[in-house]
Every structure is written in C-alpha cells, then in structure tokens.
A and B are shown apart, each in its own frame.
Chain A
Amino acid sequence: MKNNFDSKQPIYQQIIDRILTSIAKGDMPSGEKVASVRVMALYYGVNPNTIQKSLAKLEEMGYLYSERTSGRYVTNDAAKIASLRQSIPSSIISEFVDEMLDFGIAKPEIPKYVRDYIEGMDN
C-alpha cells in the first residue's frame, strides 16, 4: 500500500496529522491552494468522504480556508502556522516518551538514551 495507516486511530485523524505536518514544515506553504478531494483521495488511497471530513475539520480549526468557487487554501495566518510548528515537536516527544515508559524505561533514564543515540549518529 502507498500509505500505512496506524490501526488504532481513525484514518481521517491520521490524514489531518499528516496535513498539519506538511503545513508546519512548509511543504504546503501558506496561501497555497490545496489539491482537490479527488486528487487527495487517490494520493492517500482512501475514500473521498474521509478526505472531505479531514479537510472540513482543518477548516474548522482554521488551518485551511475556502474561497467560494476556487477551492481550499492554506491559511495566511503566520502566527497560527508558527504555533503549529512549535506544537509538533512536543507531540512527537510525547509519543516517544510514552513508548519508552511503556517499555519500562524510567523517566530519568530517557534523556541518556536520547543523548547516546544522537552522539552515535555522528560516527
């Protein structure tokens, strides 16, 4: 499959997360037109209704906006994108820390694992 979705979360939620990441990274720059529902459905290999739902939620959240006839665009609100950019690392970390804790590694030990790994990367 072109896309591996996590089995636990609804697919529309996972698509929202991916689009938010693209917006935060600048892959989808502010003011840029968003691809049509049909194109995105094919890209992600999912039902068009799922894409519709994801885009509608993103619009509700203010990350996208609609022009009456020409389609959807990424928000021009630079402050909003900046705060999104800041929120993503903490959500990545929270997932990582949860998994480490779940694996039985105590909180104080986690930074050491991270440090060791990063030092190892340069070699």
Chain B
Amino acid sequence: MDKILEINNLTKSYGKTDAVRGVSFDVPKGSIVGLLGPNGSGKTTIIKTIMGLLSDYGGNVSIGGNTPGPLANANISYLPDVAHIPTWFKVSQAIAFFADFYEDFDAARAETMLTTMKIPLNKKIKTLSRGMQEKVQLSLVMSRRASLYILDEPIGAVDPASREFIIDTILKNFDGEGAILLSTHIIADIEPILDVAIFLREGEIVLHDDVDKIREEKGQSLDQLFREVFKNVV
C-alpha cells in the first residue's frame, strides 16, 4: 500500500523534557489510524511536527515525499485541538474563507453538510454552542479533498449524541483515496472506525497494531485494553 505519511524515529524535547522519544509509524493510503494516549503522551506534539509547526525535532517525517512545511501542508487538511477559525466570522464567511484559501475545498459540500446538521449559515460562529462550533470546524476540514486528514481530538468537547454525528461526518467524507490520522483519549466511540491503533505513553509507542488483530489476539476491545494499559496514568 502507498504510504501517505511516514515517520521515522521522531524525537522532540521542550527544554529538558522529552515530549516524543523515538516514534516511528506509517499511515497507508485508505486507512484510518488512531493516535491514542492520555493527555501529555505526545499526541499533539507529533501532530504539530507533521504540520510543520515545530522545528528542531529529530528523525524523519515524510508526507507524500515532502518534509513538513507549506508544500506538504497543501495536501493536509488539519483540525487542530483548539478553535482555528475566527469566531467573529459568520458560518457563511468561514466557508468563503476556506474556499479562498484552499484549492481543494468543496464549498457546496460544506454547505450541504452544515445545513443537514441544522447549523444556521448566517450566524456568527461565536454565538453557536461549543458542540456546534466543533461541527462547523470539522465540516470545513472534511470538505477539502486532501490526501491526509489530521484530526486532533475531534470529539473532545461534544456530547455523546454529537459524537455519533461527528463519526458519521468523518465516514461520509472518507473516500479511501486519502487517509486519516486522528488523536483522541476517548476510545470507545472511535474504535469501530479505526484500522490501526497506536498507543502512546510518555512520548513512546507502547502498542501499534491492527484493531481487528488486537481484538482477536487479546480478546478485548481497544477501549478495555486502553484502560488496562493506562490504568495508572489516566
């Protein structure tokens, strides 16, 4: 399988603290890979490195042959772990903004998606509930036709009912041509959509395998295994 993303022996420290210590993994085309670990395990640091937001790291990161930076980012649709769209924008302005900014953005698709979720396009983002704001952001990110989608904690703040909606949105827009790397510490809801799980602890990979294989070999769900592995951490 083609590799959309390859990471080899990535290390990153902040001062004396080693945030990521020798992490290697691939994201093959057509796959959904979960970067799973408690807060502070290095998930966001890895993602920021891929996005070219952190320099001064060790090891190799290749996104379709490019190193992190503007060239690579053109093919990555990124949902950061914090709000990334100016909240004084109306939803319709945010759509126009994305359309201006990204060549691969499908404005009609975003509009349809948001209308189906009953999100008013003429309202300012800051007047929407937090859950709705997350839906707006995810819809915009998933409306690009990128080769790699990186979703940092996509279900972090939403209630369980909205989680299902978000998972639906991810699945509806995932066409098998690209790949998704998503990070979360809420495993149960995400588990059915993952191909591969990577467990991170204190900047190191402690488990990296096919989700089906984990279930077959360990006889437990990813969520159960996660709780076991991180019993003393979370």
Contacts and interface: CB of A to CB of B under 8 A. Distances in A.
Contact of B171 (A1, A3, A9, A42): A42
A3 B188 CA distance: 12
A97 interface: no
Interface in A1-51: 1-3, 5, 7-12, 38, 41-42, 44-50
B164 A48 contact: no
Contacts of B194: 47
A48 B174 contact: yes
B192 A46 contact: yes
Contact of A8 (B168, B189, B195, B220): B220
Contacts of A1: 164, 189, 192
Nearest to B170: A47
Interface stretch (B97-105, B148-156, B211-219): B211-219
Nearest to A53: B212
A48 B212 contact: no
Contacts of B212: 10-12, 50, 53
B181 to A, nearest CB: 14
A77 B163 CA distance: 41
A47 B215 contact: no
Given A10-B216, A12-B212, A50-B212, A5 B168 contact: no
B195 A9 contact: no
B30 interface: yes
A46 B223 CA distance: 15
A10 B168 contact: no
Contacts of B219: 8
Contact of B195 (A2, A5, A38, A49): A49
A105 to B, nearest CB: 23
A41 B167 CA distance: 11
A49 B221 CA distance: 18
A10 B192 CA distance: 10
Interface residues of A, number: 21
B192 A7 contact: no
A42 B32 contact: no
Contact of B32 (A8, A38, A44, A47): A47
Interface in B193-234: 193-195, 211-213, 215-216, 219-221, 223-224
Nearest to B215: A10
A47 B172 contact: no
Given A1-B164, A45-B164, A45-B193, A8 B215 contact: yes
B31 interface: yes
B224 A44 contact: no
Contacts of B167: 45
A1 B223 CA distance: 14
25 contacts: A1-B164, A1-B192, A2-B164, A3-B192, A7-B224, A8-B215, A8-B219, A8-B220, A9-B216, A10-B212, A10-B215, A10-B216, A38-B172, A41-B171, A42-B171, A44-B192, A45-B167, A45-B171, A45-B192, A45-B193, A46-B192, A47-B192, A48-B174, A50-B192, A50-B212
Given A48-B171, A49-B195, A53-B212, 10 more contacts: A7-B215, A7-B221, A10-B211, A11-B211, A45-B167, A47-B32, A47-B195, A48-B174, A48-B176, A50-B192
